[in-house]
Amino acid sequence: MKELTLRETDRIIEMAWEDRTPFEAIKFQFGLSEADVIQLMRSQLKQSSFKLWRKRVNSGVSKKHLKKRSAEITRFKCSRQKAISHNKISKR
């Protein structure tokens, strides 16, 4: 596994906790395989937090693998996320 900065480590942990971020996105951005991410999470989290994360990733709820998703992913952005431009806050 390559040497990571503190900022990169924090971002990888954040991405690993997100259900909608697949392992493939982490590999694309940081070059870490699923096994590398698991090793990183094991070394950086408390044992109870790591066990909770592994249980969550292995359950049917998590879509951490692109194969488990029903739709094809072409970008790493939530489909429900709105564009920032042209948003207006309604005045009361």
54-74 pLDDT, tens digit each: 988 887 655 666 665 555 555
Query: Binning pLDDT at 50, 70 and 90, where does residue 52 land?
Result: very high
* Residue ranges per structural domain of the chain: 6-68
Provide CB contacts within 8 A for 54, sequence distance 6+: 38
- pTM to 2 decimals? 0.65
The whole-number pLDDT of residue 35 equals: 92
- pLDDT tens readout for residues 6-23: 999 999 999 998 888 888
Tokens of 74: 């072409």
Tokens 């994360």 identify what position? 53
Burial class (CB in 10 A: 0-12, 13-18, 19+), 24: middle
- pLDDT tens readout for residues 72-91: 555 555 555 555 454 555 44
Kindly list the distances between the CA atom of residue 72 and the CA atoms of 5, 29, 79, in Å, as whole numbers in the listed order.
32, 18, 11
The whole-number pLDDT of residue 59 equals: 74
